[in-house]
């Protein structure tokens, strides 16, 4: 090839498998050459001293999602993808939430209406199933999976979202037949309601009550139940946002028995604790998410899960709400009740720096594991590999240039989300993205958004290699 559209020179290319000093040749938005002394490009970028990484893929992001009466999510697709780009992410997978009584396909169409033309990075949708009726199970869900919506999430808690045990089994059976991958929010609804009412009766309505209402046993029990249902139906599942040792041990137990159970954890479980919910006044509401952050021992357990491969993916669970205002977390200030605090915290922009700093810079994981946890495994798990998630000839030129020595202090003023705070305010990190490109086009540089709204494309996904469509044997289902 005589020339390239763009050549990235003098960097260190890192994938989930290798670390190699080499140049990257890009043409037509694709990686077309890897090597040394590549021919000149029409444009060139000098990456000397920088790591050349696959763009981050955050496969657990909530944007523009209905969140209850009077509550507005702080990020739509424009601000959410801008924040993602500035944090080194080139693909996100938010959720298309089906509200009770709504057609599942109508829910997906609604999300296309608010996302299409508004994104700075590429994106795809998981579905959220809250109404597992005959039409959804028999018609809409199978058809949508075949249309490329190949994963969906179910909840075991929240009044407006939870499925009962029979509904979970029915949904898992459809997933098995169609080859969809199921993500499970595993917390026991009745146990949470029981604890919440006891705490309210005792006057414990401050933000710390949120963590007290959702102790580890609540997550452990639901995780065990979800695994048991998956084993019964013989279908793989992903247990999302695992917060500590007790649920993690359930996943490890299943994996040691060759059950197809996968795990995800998030930044809040590595660097926050339940003590953060004890802020002055109602400040602790800034840290309310579910499951809640726990204690230092739980942080250690999550690192153990990362190091030992119990967790396949590291996601943000970006679920942003403002703190101030009638629609925010504080709402009625110190007179409020943790029960009414919107569950979720922002994190899409800070996910990569936190894991790099706490993991790679501190020697807990190597750069290849970092790439796997933040990009490659997401692409493999959710049907986007090898188009996304790696640096290889033929892959999209989704690339992040990373300064491994750059020190930053995370502050609200430097972030790009629509939230009015960050739960990681003042957190010091080593390692920072300095350039993000999507399909060969720079969308963020030196902490500034330089891309064009609407450049991000919707991605139709293949079936996950973790889940293959198959009918269960009659004898098995009869036993």
**Helix (DSSP H) and strand (DSSP E) numbers for the chain:** 15, 20
Q: What is the pLDDT of residue 469?
A: 85
Instruction: Name the pLDDT band for 92 (thresholds 50, 70, 90).
Output: very high
Q: How far is CA 187 from CA 15, 16, 49, 60, 288, in A?
A: 35, 32, 45, 17, 15
Give the Cβ contact number of residue 35 at 10 Å. 11
Alpha carbon 202 to chain centroid, angstroms: 36
Q: Does the pLDDT of residue 476 top 50, yes or no?
A: no
Q: Which residues contact 258 (CB under 8 A, 6 or more apart)?
A: none
Cα four-point dihedral sign 258, 240, 161, 194? positive
Place of tokens 């590549």: 38
Kindly state the average pLDDT of the residues 394-420.
98
Burial annotation 192-211 (CB, 10 A radius, 16+ → b, else e): beebbeebeeeebbbbbbbb
- pLDDT band, residue 472 (cuts 50/70/90): low
Out of 91-95, 184-188, 335-339, pick the least confident. Answer: 335-339
Could you give the domains of the chain? 55-361 (3.20.20.140)
Predicted confidence at residue 475, as pLDDT, reads 41
User: Which residue did the predictor score with more confidence, 341 or 332?
Assistant: 341
- pLDDT band for 279, please (50, 70, 90 cuts): confident
- The average confidence (pLDDT) of the chain is 95
- pLDDT of 1: 53
Handedness of CA 104, 107, 111, 113 (dihedral sign): positive
Closest CA to 463 of 387, 378, 388, 384: 384
Q: pLDDT-derived band of residue 335, with 50, 70 and 90 as boundaries?
A: low
The answer on pLDDT for 333 being more than 80 is no
- Over the stretch 94-153, which tens digit does the pLDDT of each residue have? 999 999 999 999 999 999 999 999 999 999 999 999 999 999 999 999 999 999 999 999
Strands 23-27 and 19-21: unpaired
The DSSP letter of residue 459 is -
Tens of pLDDT along 165-216?
Answer: 999 999 999 999 999 999 999 999 999 999 999 999 999 999 999 999 999 9
User: For 43-80, what is each residue's pLDDT tens digit?
Assistant: 999 999 999 999 999 999 999 998 777 788 999 999 99
Question: Strand 89-97 to strand 126-128: parallel, antiparallel, or no bridges (unpaired)?
Answer: parallel
pLDDT of residue 280: 79
pLDDT of residue 148: 97
Given a contact cutoff of 8 angstroms between Cβ atoms, the answer to whether 51 and 367 are in contact is yes
* Range in 18-22, 68-72, 324-328, 442-446 with the lowest mean pLDDT: 68-72
> Taking 50 as the threshold, does the pLDDT of residue 479 lie above it?
no
Residue 320 is predicted with a pLDDT of 97
Confidence (pLDDT) at 69: 74
- Any alpha helices (H) in 337-455, and if so which ranges? 351-355, 367-371, 377-381
What is the DSSP-derived secondary structure letter of residue 17? S
Whether 36 has a pLDDT exceeding 80, the answer reads: yes
- The rounded distance, in Å, linking the Cα atoms of 345 and 353 is 16
Task: Check whether 477 has a pLDDT greater than 50.
Answer: no
Burial of 471 (0-12, 13-18, 19+ CB in 10 A): exposed
What is the rounded average pLDDT of the residues 282-311?
Answer: 97
What is the structure's pLDDT at 99? 94
Q: Is residue 247 a contact partner of residue 219, using CB atoms and an 8 Å limit?
A: yes
User: What is the predicted pLDDT for the residue at 3?
Assistant: 86
| pLDDT (mean) for 432-444 | 98
Among the residue ranges 189-198, 321-330, 432-441, the one predicted with the least confidence is 321-330
Choose the weakest-confidence range: 1-10, 103-112, 437-446. Answer: 1-10
Q: What percent of the chain has pLDDT over 90?
A: 91
Give the tokens for residue 308: 């030992």
Helix (H) or strand (E) holding 433: strand 428-438
Does residue 329 or residue 379 have the better pLDDT? Answer: 379
């Amino acid at each position: 090839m005589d020339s390239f559209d763009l050549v990235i020179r003098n960097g260190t290319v890192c994938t989930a498998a290798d670390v190699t000093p080499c140049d990257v040749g890009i043409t037509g938005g694709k990686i077309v050459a890897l090597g040394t002394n590549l021919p000149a490009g029409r444009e060139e970028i000098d990456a000397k001293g920088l790591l050349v990484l696959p763009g981050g893929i955050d496969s657990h992001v909530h944007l523009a999602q209905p969140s209850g009466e009077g509550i507005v999510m702080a990020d739509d697709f424009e601000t959410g993808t801008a924040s993602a780009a500035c944090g080194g992410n080139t693909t996100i997978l938010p959720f298309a939430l089906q509200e009770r009584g709504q057609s599942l396909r109508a829910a997906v169409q609604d999300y296309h209406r608010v996302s299409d033309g508004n994104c700075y990075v590429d994106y795809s949708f998981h579905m959220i199933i809250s109404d597992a009726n005959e039409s959804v199970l028999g018609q809409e869900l199978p058809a949508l999976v075949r249309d490329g919506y190949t994963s969906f999430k179910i909840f075991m808690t929240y009044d407006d979202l939870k499925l009962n045990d029979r509904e979970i089994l029915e949904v898992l059976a459809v997933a098995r037949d169609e080859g969809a991958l199921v993500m499970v929010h595993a917390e026991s609804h009745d146990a949470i309601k029981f604890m919440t009412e006891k705490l309210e009766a005792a006057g414990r309505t401050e933000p710390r009550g949120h963590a007290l209402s959702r102790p580890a046993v609540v997550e452990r029990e639901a995780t065990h139940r979800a695994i048991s249902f998956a084993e019964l139906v013989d279908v793989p599942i992903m247990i999302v946002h695992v917060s500590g040792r007790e649920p993690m041990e359930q996943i490890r137990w299943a994996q040691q028995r060759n059950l197809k159970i996968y795990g995800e954890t998030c930044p809040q479980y590595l660097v926050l604790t339940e003590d953060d919910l004890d802020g002055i006044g109602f400040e602790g509401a800034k840290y309310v998410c579910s499951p809640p952050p726990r204690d230092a021992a739980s942080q250690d357990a999550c690192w153990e899960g990362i190091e030992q491969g119990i967790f396949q993916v590291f996601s943000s669970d970006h679920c942003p709400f403002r703190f101030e205002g009638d629609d925010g977390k504080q709402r009625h200030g110190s007179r409020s009740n943790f029960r009414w605090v919107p569950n979720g915290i922002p994190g899409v922009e800070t996910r990569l720096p936190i894991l790099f700093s706490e993991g790679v810079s501190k020697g807990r994981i190597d750069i290849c594991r970092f790439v796997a946890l933040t990009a490659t495994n997401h692409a493999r798990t959710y049907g986007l590999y090898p188009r996304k998630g790696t640096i290889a000839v033929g892959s999209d030129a989704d690339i992040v240039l990373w300064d491994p020595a750059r020190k930053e202090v995370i502050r609200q003023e430097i972030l790009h989300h629509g939230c009015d705070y960050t739960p990681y305010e003042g957190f010091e990190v080593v390692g920072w993205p300095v350039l993000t490109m999507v399909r060969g086009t720079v969308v963020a540089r030196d902490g500034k958004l330089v891309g064009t709204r609407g450049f991000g494309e919707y991605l139709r996904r293949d079936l996950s290699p973790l889940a293959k469509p198959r009918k269960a044997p009659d004898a098995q289902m009869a036993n």
